[in-house]
Amino acid sequence: MQNSLRTGAVGPILGFLVSLAAVWLLLVLIPAEVKKDLAGFLNLGRNGEAAANEGFLRGRLTIGKICFDDEENCQPPTGARANRLIRVQNAQTGEPVEILNTNTAGEFAATLPAGQYRLEMDLRQGERSPNLPGYVIVNSKEETRLTLEIIAE
């Protein structure tokens, strides 16, 4: 009778340990950049822990062209939104916090400590922006959305 009790207890314990080892391996094998992105979507902190003082910033970069009434077939450029670097700085201290890179759709995202931030981006020749540099407030446990606009002349 004692042997059957001991054997019965080993199964659940062994299963738990195997599951724990599998989760640990996944966390070790996942690249840091992927963990950072997952942390934002899951509202987790940079160390994978629930972050009471962090929020999520999500945005999109749009690029348009100034069209005048006498121009025919004026089309805004469709490219040039990918791989644009957006610098995030602490608004009070000017301290660099993060550098975000836009994807092919011009989207960017980051998990940041709650606070006020200044966003900057280097503009290319012939570009201007009515909202850069820009300021944004990221609140704890909330998602802040914004659109950054570039006008190509």
Whether this prediction's pTM lies above 0.75 is answered by no
Task: Mark whether 18 and 64 lie in a shared domain.
Answer: no
Task: Mark whether 21 and 77 lie in a shared domain.
Answer: no
Spatial separation of the C-alpha atoms in residues 37 and 57, rounded to whole Å:
11
% of the chain surpassing 90 pLDDT: 34
- Burial label, 58 (beta-carbon count in 10 A; 0-12, 13-18, 19+): middle
Q: Please provide the size of the chain in residues.
A: 153
What pLDDT score was predicted for residue 82? Answer: 84
Instruction: Give the CATH number of the domain where residue 88 resides.
Output: 2.60.40.10
- The model's pLDDT over 21-47, given as tens digits with 9 standing for 90+, comes to 655 555 556 555 544 544 444 444 444
Task: Mark whether 50 and 106 lie in a shared domain.
Answer: yes
- The model's pLDDT over 133-146, given as tens digits with 9 standing for 90+, comes to 889 999 999 999 98
Task: Mark whether 6 and 71 lie in a shared domain.
Answer: no
C-beta neighbour count of 50 within 10 angstroms:
10
Spatial separation of the C-alpha atoms in residues 69 and 16, rounded to whole Å:
69
Token couple for 1: 């009778």
Domain residues for the domain of 7 are 2-30
What pLDDT score was predicted for residue 112? Answer: 95
Task: Mark whether 11 and 56 lie in a shared domain.
Answer: no
CA angle 145, 146, 147 (to 5 degrees): 140
The answer to whether residues 117 and 89 touch, using CB atoms and an 8 Å cutoff, is yes
- The model's pLDDT over 38-73, given as tens digits with 9 standing for 90+, comes to 444 444 444 444 367 999 999 988 887 655 555 566
Structural domains in the chain (count)? 2
The answer to whether residues 66 and 86 touch, using CB atoms and an 8 Å cutoff, is no
Task: Mark whether 20 and 55 lie in a shared domain.
Answer: no
